[in-house]
Amino acid sequence: MSNPSPATSIADLERLLDEKKARLQSLVQERDRLQKELDKLDAQIQGAASVDGPLTRRSSRKRRLKNEMSLKAVIKEVLAKNKKGLSLSELETAVTETGYKSGSSNFRNVLYQAVYNSADIGRDEKTGLYKLQK
């Protein structure tokens, strides 16, 4: 008796309502049991992924850019053309205009390190410009 007819008694309606509630309760219990199983599987997957790394192998490493000349060689070439010397920001602009490519997020710092660690390049204290040493 799935659909009550107009002549259905109150007792029949109550029994039908009780059957629907029981069916609903069993479905909810089944869903909860399956959800617990899924949670266990998710935990196992996460445990395996933390040991082996991510499940998908995406390379997040950037490829190293390759230039024809090293940064020090480019700096020396630029400074050889500018006998008066260049400030760090001017040097940065001149080096990038030569086509030198860098993947650095702070290229000015990389440039400063290259200039600072080079014995052939000096900084004039009076003007603050970088020049090739003689």
Report the distance separating Cα 131 and Cα 75, nearest Å.
10
pLDDT in tens, 14-36: 999 999 999 999 999 999 999 99
pLDDT-based confidence at 51, cuts 50/70/90? low
Residue with the two structure tokens 């860098």: 102
Give the DSSP letter of residue 71.
H
Give the per-residue pLDDT at 58.
60
Mean pLDDT of the 37-60 span: 73
More confident residue, 46 or 18: 18
Q: Which of 42-51, 89-98, 120-129 has the lowest mean pLDDT?
A: 42-51
Report the distance separating Cα 106 and Cα 110, nearest Å.
7
User: Rounded to the nearest 5°, which phi and psi values hold at 88?
Assistant: -65, -40
Report the distance separating Cα 69 and Cα 71, nearest Å.
7
Retrieve residue 68's tokens.
């024809």
pLDDT-based confidence at 77, cuts 50/70/90? very high
Q: Which of 58, 72, 59, 64 is nearest to 103 (CA)?
A: 64
Mean pLDDT of the 84-108 span: 92
pTM attached to this predicted model? 0.53
